[in-house]
């Protein structure tokens, strides 16, 4: 079989990769669809991000779905509803050890020995899921009945937004600001609306992402390049919004958002653009709460369920699907925010 391996910036190859047979508790999948994430683009374009750099060739990808090709011993009843050859499953890329202090404390997304697909954080790197066949643990499989492979692959980014929404706390009747309207920002809009947000305003530096934000339910969208002072009005009387989802990773967006938050508002920082300098006196004076949101774990099965039940519609976010043999073109296209929301690769 083949896998999409990044060797260096702009050096993505379809390399031969060893296919393994499933052992006890394992499932062999034929990968169906895979979404290109921002971290994949960082590895492809720059060889990493911040201090995280490629030190060896690495298979990319962690947003995938697949069809069951073979079941290992004892697997059939390990997944709710059972598993059979041919079933479509969404693949949870989060593989915590289950033994470290954070796993035992109920925070597996902070596992000390996390094996998250396509990550150069540890060395040797954790190889990713962009392979024509993928051997997984049965516990990673969530049946995705009644949805397309592309929708099933969207369970991973939706899980990120659902975890952030959990971190935000109760949203019923709240006014919400979302800064950065890439896939995670737009999914945060969908999640916040489903959680009962009364008003959602979204900002970005380009028009096309804001089109998707409006379709997802944002009452107002603001291009902060064209309307540089638009958020300032929300800062009157110490602020307007109860919750800020900061999904851009840009310091300017976070600082502007802080000014629009009302006292005792909550900031959920999702974007990972590097370290920032923050107005600490404003945070202190308005008693703002700054909460990080990193990956997810238990939200994954919920994400699949919400997609399958039609509670959150991810289809409009999948704007481009290219074949495996056109993977390099898919990665080049995925970086063009003027026309792409989510680019996916069709594997089989």
pLDDT at 274 over 80: no
Q: Which two tokens stand for residue 53?
A: 């750099």
Place of tokens 């296209």: 333
pLDDT band at residue 253 under the 50/70/90 scheme: very high
pLDDT at 76 over 80: no
Residues 149 and 53 in one domain: yes
Q: Which two tokens stand for residue 48?
A: 């990493």
pLDDT at 77 over 80: no
Residues 141 and 166 in one domain: no
Q: Which tens digits make up the pLDDT trace of 153-165?
A: 999 999 999 999 9
Residues 237 and 335 in one domain: no
Q: Which two tokens stand for residue 326?
A: 């056109």
**CA distances for 315 relative to 7, 61, 125, 329, angstroms:** 32, 20, 32, 21
Q: Is 231 exposed, middle or buried (0-12, 13-18, 19+ CB in 10 A)?
A: buried
Residues 39 and 150 in one domain: yes
Q: Which tens digits make up the pLDDT trace of 186-220?
A: 999 999 999 999 999 999 999 999 999 999 999 99
Residues 171 and 274 in one domain: yes
What pTM was estimated for this model as a whole? Answer: 0.95
- Domain range for 127 is 2-154+314-346
Residues 150 and 196 in one domain: no
Find the CATH number of the domain harbouring 246. 3.40.50.720
The rounded distance, in Å, linking the Cα atoms of 214 and 199 is: 12
Specify whether the CB–CB gap between 202 and 190 falls below 8 A: no
Q: Which tens digits make up the pLDDT trace of 97-144?
A: 999 999 999 999 999 999 999 999 999 999 999 999 999 999 999 999
The rounded distance, in Å, linking the Cα atoms of 127 and 287 is: 42
Q: Which two tokens stand for residue 187?
A: 């999914």
Residues 195 and 255 in one domain: yes
**Total tally of structural domains belonging to the chain:** 2
pLDDT at 81 over 80: no
Find the CATH number of the domain harbouring 17. 3.90.180.10
Whether 200 maps to a domain, the answer reads: yes
The rounded distance, in Å, linking the Cα atoms of 322 and 328 is: 10
pLDDT number for residue 161:
98
Specify whether the CB–CB gap between 209 and 179 falls below 8 A: no
pLDDT at 74 over 90: no
């Amino acid at each position: 079989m083949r896998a999409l391996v990044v060797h260096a910036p702009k050096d993505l190859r379809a390399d031969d990769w060893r296919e393994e047979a499933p052992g006890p508790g394992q499932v062999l999948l034929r990968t169906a669809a895979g979404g290109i994430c921002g971290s994949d683009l960082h590895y492809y374009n720059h060889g990493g991000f911040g201090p995280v750099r490629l030190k060896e060739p690495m298979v990319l990808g962690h947003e995938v779905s697949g069809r069951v090709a073979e079941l290992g011993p004892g697997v059939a009843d390990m997944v709710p509803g059972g598993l059979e050859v041919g079933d479509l499953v969404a693949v949870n890329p989060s593989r915590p050890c289950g033994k470290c202090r954070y796993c035992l404390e109920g925070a597996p997304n902070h596992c000390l020995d996390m094996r998250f697909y396509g990550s150069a954080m540890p060395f040797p790197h954790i190889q990713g899921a962009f392979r024509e066949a993928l051997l997984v643990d049965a516990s990673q499989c969530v049946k995705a009945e009644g949805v397309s492979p592309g929708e099933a692959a969207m369970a991973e980014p939706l899980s990120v937004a659902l975890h952030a929404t959990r971190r935000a706390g109760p949203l019923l009747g709240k006014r919400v600001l979302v800064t950065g309207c890439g896939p995670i920002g737009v999914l945060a809009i969908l999640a916040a609306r489903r959680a009962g947000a009364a008003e959602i305003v979204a900002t970005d530096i380009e028009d096309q992402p804001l089109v998707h934000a409006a379709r997802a339910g944002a009452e107002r969208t603001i291009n902060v390049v064209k309307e540089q002072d638009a958020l300032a009005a929300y800062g009157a009387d110490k602020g307007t919004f109860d919750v800020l989802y900061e999904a851009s990773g840009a310091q300017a967006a976070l600082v502007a958002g802080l000014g629009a938050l009302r006292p005792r508002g909550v900031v959920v920082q999702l974007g990972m653009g590097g370290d920032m300098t923050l107005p600490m006196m404003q945070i202190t004076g308005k008693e703002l709460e700054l909460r990080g949101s990193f990956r997810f774990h238990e939200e994954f099965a919920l994400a699949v369920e919400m997609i399958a039940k039609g509670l959150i519609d991810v289809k409009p976010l999948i704007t481009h699907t290219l074949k495996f043999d056109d993977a390099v073109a898919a990665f080049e296209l995925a970086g063009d925010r003027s026309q792409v929301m989510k680019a996916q690769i069709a594997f089989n």
